[in-house]
């Protein structure tokens, strides 16, 4: 599912970045993919995906 439509980023891409690339918060995610840097509508959902991925580990 797409989380950030502005940048075409999916929940799977975010989860992988958290697991494999050391992304731990929105700031890292924005740096990596630009998530949240345009309309900002995705920020809450992206944060949830980060949190859920960290909890799953």
Interacting residue ranges for ligand FES, rule: CB under 6 A: 4-7, 35-42
Output 15 or 57, the one with its CB closest to ligand FES: 15
User: CB of 17 within 8 A of CB of 29?
Assistant: yes
Cα distance from N-terminal residue to C-terminal residue, the chain? 21
| Helices 11-20 and 43-56, packing angle to 10 deg | 50
Q: State which residue, 1 or 57, has the beta carbon closest to ligand FES.
A: 1
Give min distance, CB of 40 to ligand FES, in A: 6
Encoded tokens for 29:
């995610």
Query: Least separation, in Å, of the C-beta of 41 and ligand FES?
Result: 5
């Amino acid at each position: 599912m797409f989380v950030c439509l502005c940048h075409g980023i999916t929940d799977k891409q975010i989860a992988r970045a958290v697991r494999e690339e050391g992304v731990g918060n929105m700031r890292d995610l924005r740096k990596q993919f630009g998530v949240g840097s345009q309309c900002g509508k995705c920020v809450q959902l992206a944060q949830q995906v980060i949190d859920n991925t960290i909890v799953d580990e």
